[in-house]
Structure 1
Amino acid sequence: MGLPNESGDLLSKMDSDASRRLFPLRFYESHLSISTRPDGRPLKSAREAFVGPGDVASADGSAMTKIGSTTMLAAIKMEIMTPSADKPDEGSIAVEFYMPPICSPLVRPGRPAEIAPVISKQLYDTIMSSGMIDLKELSLISGKAAWMVYLDIYCLDADGALFDAALYSAAAAFSFLQIPVVSLSEEGRLTIIPEEGNGNKSDKDVVNKGKRKLTISSLPFSLTCGLHKNYILPDPTSEEETLMETFVTVVLNSSGHLVSLYKPGGPVLAQTSTIQDCIALTRQRMTDLQKSLDEAITEMKVD
């Protein structure tokens, strides 16, 4: 008795899948016309986000984040360097974003993804312009030693909004970071003390007593919105990104102030209200991301 209905449902699904492949824009717009998106989200909703420690044993701080299916692993490694002569009391930060072939069928083995260096620079510029890190806090001995911070972010699954997920993982990794203990030898050489060796040094040998957290003044959070006709679609998937030609990425700090606005290509925006709407959506998103990160930090302290 149930066969006709089951057959009809199967045929309907086959028609839907065929339409999605053959006429993707028409398929997409048919969803927009009923105020939904192909993944079931309301038009102006972002995907669910997850954040937790990355559990990278060799890193001084790491984080795993997910926005929908987009997955990032961020790891921070700290080394001692000689500061530059013009900035003797400051450390330095280097950022690299990687897209290995496992993250997307569009990334070919042996060929670096073209977008990777673009996101690397965008991440570095955002971290520095947001004021999240005070480079003076990375100083160890003025003019002689400071921290060099290497932030590496690996995209494990690329399903849209890559910059947003990468920035979220960077913010989390810095929030989880513990600065290593450093000792000063009789020859004046600084070395990082392994955690298991902390008890073997006298107080006079140790430059910074015990691991400590980095003081973070304001975390940056971003939201990318795809613009299609009169629709503003936050946090697009990779499928949605292929159907849109205009994107706006808004970066706000923890206080809700605008850090940067990034619009790569596409037509000129005729209405300032579009930008204002994107900023308002970013403020809503920032609240959710900050709450998730605060909960993850609290869980780490409990553990």
Structure 2
Amino acid sequence: MAMEHLRWRPTVNERDFIERALQSNLRVDDDRSFDFRRSLEFRPLNISFGREDGSSEVQLGETRVMGYVTAQLVQPYRDRPNEGTLAIFTELSPMADPSFEPGRPGESAIELARVIDRGLSESRAVDMESLCVVPGKYVWSLRVDLHILDNGGNLIDAANIAALAALSSFRRPECTIGGEDGQQVTVHDPKVRDPLPLTIHHLPIAVTFAYFGEDNIVVDPTCKEEAIMGGRMTVTVNSNGDVYAIEKAGEEGVMPSVIMKCLRIASDKAAYVTSKIKIAVENYATEKD
């Protein structure tokens, strides 16, 4: 993802140090002082929730992202009268990174939202038909807002986890249909009737790789590694190994053998992240009850 004019620029010595460490399968992360992690390890991942359903906060190393889900009744698209809708919006604030410009979403914010939206839509993880209230007339439209609080690198994976966690903890109001024509909708107050969780079939996990040369690849790059990487590839996959999207950025090409290796690694990482999300959601539900 392209970061603009104020992005960290490494000196020759800094670049040489990072590259030499990577060649030795070692990485230095700012958030863990001089503790090393391996090329295929994630930084520490923490998932928490706000007081309201559908509000999440994810910390991946020094990267922090907040997710928030809202819903409203709308008229469905004509070609999909029985399906609700889902849209992703991102906000990249200068408070999170000086390279982010205030105002309307820039190219980086649009690209980030597009990658996450594609993974969710291609996987059909959220049951859109379950969001239908009155076919052709009323469906639930879900909106996921992702706010970047701190940019420590690998925004895609952190934002994707925040979106999935927020969706997994969201509850929509219950509706009943009545009236003489049988199409009048009553939306019940959560205090009167318990809200309903979304139907989510599986979790499409984004796993991002940075590559440095032909064979040197790392998982979950920091912002300093992103500044010197030759390219980036994001694989969206679930814990069963089903691949839904592959996004590549950067000028360097990737060998087919490297892509296949990344797909195998991504499947293992997806199982790990899926487990973390599910445990966090279960703990949140238990504490709330």
Q: Do both share a fold (TM > 0.5)?
A: yes
- Structure 1 window deviating more from structure 2 (26-35 vs 214-223): it is 26-35
> In structure 2, what is the equivalent of residue 25 of structure 1?
15
AA of the residue aligned to 1:223: V
Q: CA deviation at 1:184?
A: 5.2
Equivalent residue runs for 1:1-303 within 5 Å? 21=11, 23-39=13-29, 40-55=36-51, 57=52, 60-110=53-103, 112-183=105-176, 189-196=184-191, 198=192, 210-229=194-213, 230-269=215-254, 271-303=255-287
Residue segments in structure 1 that go unaligned for 5+ positions in a row: 1-19, 199-208
CA contact (8 A) 1:88 1:143 kept: yes
Cα deviations by residue, 1:212-249 (Å, 9 ceiling, x for unpaired): 11111111001111111231111100110000121111
Q: CA deviation at 1:30?
A: 2.8
State the TM-score, normalized to the length of structure 1: 0.82
Aligned length: 269
Cα deviations by residue, 1:60-82 (Å, 9 ceiling, x for unpaired): 51211111111111111010112
> In structure 2, what is the equivalent of residue 202 of structure 1?
none
CA contact (8 A) 1:247 1:266 kept: no
Report the Cα distance in structure 1 between the residues aligned to 2:16 and 2:135, rounded to whole angstroms.
Answer: 62
SS of residue paired to 1:27: helix
Q: CA deviation at 1:262?
A: 1.1
In 2 relative to 1, CA 111–75 (structure 1 residues): closer, same or farther, beyond 3 Å? closer
> In structure 2, what is the equivalent of residue 206 of structure 1?
none
SS of residue paired to 1:242: helix
Q: CA deviation at 1:186?
A: 5.2
Q: CA deviation at 1:260?
A: 1.2
Q: CA deviation at 1:85?
A: 3.0
SS of residue paired to 2:241: coil
Q: CA deviation at 1:288?
A: 1.6
Cα deviations by residue, 1:144-181 (Å, 9 ceiling, x for unpaired): 21101111111111111111111111111111111212
Residue segments in structure 2 that go unaligned for 5+ positions in a row: 1-9, 30-35
| Overall identity of the aligned pairs, in % | 27
SS of residue paired to 1:90: coil
Q: CA deviation at 1:88?
A: 1.8
Q: CA deviation at 1:185?
A: 7.3
Q: Give RMSD over aligned pairs.
A: 2.0
Report the Cα distance in structure 2 between the residues aligned to 1:285 and 1:64, rounded to whole angstroms.
Answer: 20
Report the Cα distance in structure 2 between the residues aligned to 1:100 and 1:116, rounded to whole angstroms.
Answer: 10
CA contact (8 A) 2:23 2:216 kept: no
Q: CA deviation at 1:29?
A: 2.0
* Structure with bigger gyration radius: 1
CA contact (8 A) 1:54 1:74 kept: no
Report the Cα distance in structure 2 between the residues aligned to 1:158 and 1:191, rounded to whole angstroms.
Answer: 42
Greater helix percent: which structure?
1
AA of the residue aligned to 2:61: G
CA contact (8 A) 1:54 1:75 kept: no
